[in-house]
């Protein structure tokens, strides 16, 4: 399987000149990608430096760098093109400041639909012949395509698909798309599992040579690939993320996935929060190790109206914390991202106390509402 390390740059409406459109708030103006091949031994195949690739539409512009390509990384490819804008015709000041680009720099580019067609065809091409996927577990296989995306942070695939929808192009897949969020994986592998660092911080942390500037699509894709190359733990690489621009269309397409230390569920879209929270599958608490339906010790409660928590007890595996995040879909409805995780007895006690605090806060709010209505 190929791994496509993708980075996008985009422009947006300048309110003083061009109003920002809701259907395409960010117009993609540059695509950069590095193609890596997973090997049976778990090694990556990526460029050791950044020189000598193909022309745009056939693998991208040549990459800068003076060192020769190392013999240990002979099989890789790159893609890079700038895109001629069709929506916004003024460069937003923030885009200009970050990318050091002018609109004139984009005039030689092709329109987005043409570039995307070349890019997706390039993604499908194998690197050095057949390649086995990196060890990730059967549940994470991506059968409908011969490649898997990796990005720094979760936004690139969402904006890619939003641009595709604007141009009425076929979707990348049916429903959520699995990908590697390398920003998250970096935190899981090297830091506290919660922080989300910028790309340059991670490059400095791992002492990766800074051969080129940041904030250009191909440069950032290269640095992201270099970081991903250094993540070897199969337990970390199991933590695939999902882009949810397109939700599951029905119950059969909902996402159920079990990692080594928690389970995740992504629902279809519901018309409102009330319909979502009363759905049996959304509200269920099932032990992801023995698959038993568990009786809840603490029923679902919310401290803020967006996140809901519960506590269940498995007689075999212990306490399990449930968390539901209610999110707004691209349409008018909402969907749920539920995680189930085994926790310690101490953590279970703290969750019980959190439920009591939430109950007290709700009582206070209800008393205030009652006084106002009198």
- Residue 84 and residue 62 in contact, taking contact as beta carbons nearer than 8 Å: no
- pTM of the full structure: 0.82
Mean pLDDT of the chain: 84
Among the ranges given (99-113, 133-147, 203-217, 353-367), the one the predictor scored with the smallest mean pLDDT: 133-147
Provide the residue ranges of all domains of the chain, joining segments of one domain with +: 2-243, 251-373
Residue pLDDT, tens place only, 31-71: 999 998 865 345 555 444 444 333 333 333 323 332 222 23
Evaluate if residue 313 carries a pLDDT over 60.
yes
Statement: 2-243 belongs to CATH 3.30.420.10: yes
Question: Residue 75 pLDDT > 70, yes or no?
Answer: no
Predicted local confidence at residue 50, as pLDDT: 44
pLDDT, tens digit, 9 for 90 and up, residues 242-262: 999 999 999 999 999 999 899
Highest mean pLDDT among 93-102, 123-132, 209-218: 209-218
pLDDT exceeds 60 at position 338: yes
Query: Residue 274: which pLDDT band, with cuts at 50, 70 and 90?
Result: very high
The whole-number average pLDDT for the span 183-207 is: 95
Identify the DSSP state of 258. Answer: E
Angle at 120 between CA 215 and CA 214, to 5 degrees: 10
Determine the average pLDDT of the residues in 188-212: 93
Band of the pLDDT at 287, cuts 50, 70, 90?
A: very high
pLDDT at 71: 31
The pLDDT score that the predictor gives to residue 128 is: 56
HSE-CB at 294 with a 13 A cutoff on CA atoms is 27
Contact 76, 53 (CB under 8 A): no
Q: What does the pLDDT average to over 162-181?
A: 94
Contacts of 363 (CB under 8 A, 6+ apart): none
Query: Encoding tokens for residue 3?
Result: 């791994």
pLDDT score of 96: 84
Q: What is the 3-state secondary structure (H, E, C) of 240-308?
A: CEEECCCCCCCHHHCEEEECCCCEEEECCCECCHHHHHCCHHHHCCECCCCCCECCEEEEEECCCCCEE
Taking Cα atoms as reference points, which of 120, 243, 123 lies closest to residue 175?
243
The helix (H) or strand (E) run that includes residue 180 is strand 177-181
> What is the reported pLDDT for 42?
53
Pairing outcome for strands 147-151 and 2-12: parallel
Q: Mean pLDDT over residues 182-205, rounded?
A: 95
Instruction: State the average pLDDT over residues 97-110.
Output: 89
DSSP 8-class letter at 238: T
What span, in angstroms and rounded, lies between the C-alpha atoms of 247 and 173?
11
Give tens-digit pLDDT for 104-150.
889 999 999 999 999 999 998 877 544 333 333 333 334 446 799 99
Number of residues assigned to the chain: 374
């Amino acid at each position: 399987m190929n791994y496509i390390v993708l980075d996008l740059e985009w422009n947006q409406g300048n309110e003083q000149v061009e109003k920002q459109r809701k259907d395409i708030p960010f117009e993609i103006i540059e695509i950069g990608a590095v193609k890596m091949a997973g090997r049976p031994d778990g090694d990556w195949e990526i460029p050791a430096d950044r020189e000598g690739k193909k022309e745009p539409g056939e693998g991208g512009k040549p990459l800068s760098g003076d060192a020769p390509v190392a013999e240990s990384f002979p099989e890789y490819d790159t893609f890079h093109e700038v895109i001629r804008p069709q929506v916004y015709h003024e460069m937003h000041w923030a885009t200009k400041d970050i990318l050091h680009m002018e609109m004139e720099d984009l005039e030689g580019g092709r329109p987005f639909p043409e570039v995307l067609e070349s890019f997706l065809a390039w993604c499908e091409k194998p690197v050095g012949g057949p390649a086995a996927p990196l060890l990730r577990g059967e549940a994470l296989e991506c059968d409908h395509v011969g490649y898997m995306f990796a990005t720094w942070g979760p936004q690139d695939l969402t904006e890619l698909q939003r641009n595709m929808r604007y141009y009425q192009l076929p979707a990348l897949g049916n429903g959520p798309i699995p990908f590697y969020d390398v920003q998250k994986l970096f935190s899981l592998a090297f830091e506290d599992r919660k922080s989300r660092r910028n790309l340059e911080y991670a490059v400095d942390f791992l002492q990766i040579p800074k051969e080129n500037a940041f904030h250009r699509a191909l440069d950032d894709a290269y640095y992201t690939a270099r970081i991903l190359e250094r993540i070897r733990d199969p337990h970390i690489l199991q933590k695939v993320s999902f882009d949810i621009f397109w939700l599951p269309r029905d119950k059969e397409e909902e996402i159920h996935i079990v990692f080594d230390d928690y389970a995740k569920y992504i629902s279809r879209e519901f018309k409102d929060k009330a319909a979502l929270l009363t759905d049996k599958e959304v509200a269920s608490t099932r032990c992801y190790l023995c698959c038993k339906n568990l009786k809840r010790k603490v029923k679902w409660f919310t401290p803020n109206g967006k996140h809901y928590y519960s506590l269940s007890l498995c007689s075999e595996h212990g306490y399990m914390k449930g968390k539901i995040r209610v999110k707004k879909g691209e349409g008018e409805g909402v969907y749920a991202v539920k995680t189930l995780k085994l926790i310690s007895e101490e953590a279970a006690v703290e969750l019980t106390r959190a439920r009591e605090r939430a109950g007290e806060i709700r009582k206070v709010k209800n008393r205030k509402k009652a006084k106002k209505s009198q």
